[in-house]
Chain A
Amino acid sequence: MAVKTYLQAISDGLRQEMQRDKRVYVIGEDIGVYGGAFKVTQGFQEEFGAWRVIDAPLSETAIVGSCTGAAIMGLRPVAEMQFADFISCAWDQLVTVAAKQRYRAGTAVPIVVRLPSGGGFSGGPFHSQNPESSFAHIPGLKIVCPATPADAKGLLVSAIEDPNPVLYFEHKHLYRRIKDEVPDERYTVPLGKARVHREGDDVTVVTWGAMVYTADEAAKQLESDLSVEIVDLRSLSPWDKEAVLTSVEKTSRALVLHEDTRTGGFGAEIVATIMEESFESLDAPVKRVAAPDTPVPFSPPLEKKFIPQVEDVLAGLRDLAEY
């Protein structure tokens, strides 16, 4: 197995699906000759031509809306939002049209929307968000947030295969920073199945995306005192309740960590579920570590305050251990 970056794994997965299935096409802004803002589709237009790698005008609404129509007519579109933040322009077409099409019309809408998300490099308020929780609230959408290169590829393949609209959140801070072994052949990682990133006995951390690595660093630093289990959810819709509850029942303590803002964040849903279904197994109140309820700031010291840091997780874990 070759070692690949998270970004290369996404690119490879997409290319393989396009080679395998002629119905798959990609559409987005600057994705053709330019290869995409982050170069995920570099070289794709040469290989597949301009009608399967469509450079679209600045039209997020029509990009997503046209994908819905093409999907109903039998194609398998994969749209790229240049930044996840721009999906707000397509809210109506995604949330009102695509997400409800199956329910009201009985038709499948096999579209994938790729969403480069997250902060960590001063993208500022419109280029750093993690809006996954807003969409996790919408019945009819599926949501994946891979953390590792292997999952990035396998989940993308599953997302393209899935007959529903899938939002694929790829974390920009992981693109070139995270490398790992990725199988060359085609494979899938099932939607809705969590992964235990690190096994432990004393505290469970439930997280996803880039925060998996923040949690991992905190767990390493506490290694001699506290055995931390990290559950990487991988999908938020559907999400793997069973894996979370199984881990919490083992450790009796849980911390939920996300880069999205705190209030109404998906962490609240996880906490509520643990309280409803595993209250008896808890030895301490479930803790949340999340971004504060502000836009994502630009200046590095401000952004560092916004994004949950290893120290924040350490403090949360120590509180839980001492409770």
Chain B
Amino acid sequence: MAIAEQKGQTLSPERLKEFLREMLLIRRFEEKVEERFRAGELPGFLHVAIGQEAVAVGVCRALDDGDVIASTHRAHGHTLAKGTHPNELMAELYGKVEGCSHGYGGSMHLYDIERGNLGANAVVGGGLPAIVGGALAFKLRGEPRVAVAFFGDGATNIGTFHESLNLAQLWKVPALFVCENNHYAESTPAKQQLPIEDLTKRADAFGMTAMTVDGQDVEAVYKTTTKALKHARDGKGPVFLLAETYRFTGHYVGDPQVYRPKEEARHLRETQDPVEKLRARLDVSEEDWNELDAEVTDLVEGSVEFAKNGTDPKPEDALKNVYA
């Protein structure tokens, strides 16, 4: 993906339209997941990232093929943006063998090692240390690759965050720490869990380069990520990238959201929707929009069909794959 646009030039409308498509695909996918969960078809717990699509797409589009990511419990968007097919992701949510974790992981434990996804980590902050180790491997072998950790604002309170940033900066490894600040740690608002407002101060404490970006603007996310990746790839050390974003939904599907004003989510949808923002900027015609929407909706519907027709794991497979 080493194209001229990555040097910081303005992105072409065609390229931005690709981003729009990808964000819309993630949106429609997660809306479908909510619907099927409420219909009782999906086992377990589900956390959607509706409202945060621009971070997943903006960051992942800026990556090279050899770069790797670690994700969080809110992983569908990152997983799709890193290249996993919706069929494989949906099949995993249905617990099928064809799923990207073959039914062993589910929504909170997605992985796709072939596409550089080291895995979602459903213990908050749990993915950061492995990203430092991956980046260390790249540095020791002299490979021009970057390891990227996604995590939320809540994770900046946990020890793994601090130990990982400390090690990464000490070793100057090519790592990128993407903090998706959606202003809630599950149900706890920022003011109740963070004694500071500007989370880049936490990176400052380690002497780490920090960048802040509007996480609802996919082009800005892409460009800032590109800058951050160049810094890391050039051997200048890791970068903390703070993306200010918003979660339009609850922590999990079914969350009554008693912890925030009823109007907040609606207001955010009306003013901060990354998909609508880009649609307006590109001035997409009604006809083009409908065509795009129909295309991704078909893909999502197809993934549900694929998943429903998937293979249930054999019960005895529970006993396999504990050891390599």
List A residues at the B interface (Cβ < 8 Å): 25, 51, 56-57, 59, 61-62, 64-75, 77, 92-93, 96-97, 101-110, 139-140, 142, 163-164
Contact = CB atoms under 8 A, between A and B. Distances in A.
B4 interface: no
Nearest to B126: A97
Interface in B278-324: 321-324
Contacts of A71: 133
Nearest to B122: A96
Contact of A106 (B102, B126, B133, B160): B102
Contact of A57 (B113, B130, B141, B167): B167
A69 B131 contact: yes
B101 A164 contact: no
A168 to B, nearest CB: 16
B185 interface: no
Nearest to A100: B109
Given A73-B68, A74-B137, A65 B111 contact: no
A66 B130 contact: yes
A221 to B, nearest CB: 41
A253 to B, nearest CB: 33
B163 A59 contact: yes
15 contacts: A57-B170, A59-B167, A65-B132, A66-B133, A67-B133, A70-B136, A72-B134, A73-B134, A93-B129, A97-B121, A97-B123, A102-B322, A104-B101, A106-B102, A140-B322
A65 B166 CA distance: 13
A17 B70 CA distance: 30
Contacts of B159: 61
Given A59-B167, A62-B167, A105-B111, A69 B324 contact: no
A109 B323 CA distance: 9
A71 B324 CA distance: 13
A56 B140 contact: no
B163 A61 contact: yes
B25 interface: no
Nearest to B117: A105
B202 to A, nearest CB: 15
Interface of B: 68, 70, 101-102, 104-105, 109, 111, 113, 118-119, 121, 123, 126, 128-138, 140-141, 147, 159-160, 163-164, 166-167, 170, 321-324
Given A96-B123, A106-B113, A66 B132 contact: yes
A162 to B, nearest CB: 8
Contacts of B133: 65-73, 75, 77
Contacts of B132: 62, 65-66, 69
A65 B118 contact: no
Contact of B128 (A25, A57, A65): A65
Contacts, number: 131
B86 to A, nearest CB: 19
A163 B323 CA distance: 8
B151 to A, nearest CB: 13
A25 B160 CA distance: 22
Contacts of B68: 73
Contact of B126 (A92, A109, A163): A92
Contacts of A109: 324
A96 B122 CA distance: 10
Contacts of A93: 126, 129, 160
Contact of B160 (A56, A57, A65): A65
A28 to B, nearest CB: 13
Contacts of B166: 57, 59, 62
B152 to A, nearest CB: 17
B130 A97 contact: yes
Contacts of B121: 97
In the A-B complex, the 8 residue pairs with the closest CB atoms: A65-B129, A69-B133, A69-B130, A66-B133, A62-B163, A73-B137, A108-B324, A70-B133
A75 B140 CA distance: 10
A69 B105 CA distance: 18
Given A103-B104, A104-B109, A64 B322 contact: no
Nearest to A93: B129
A142 B322 CA distance: 11
Contacts of B322: 102-103, 139-140
A279 to B, nearest CB: 25
Contact of A102 (B131, B141, B163, B323): B323
Nearest to A163: B324
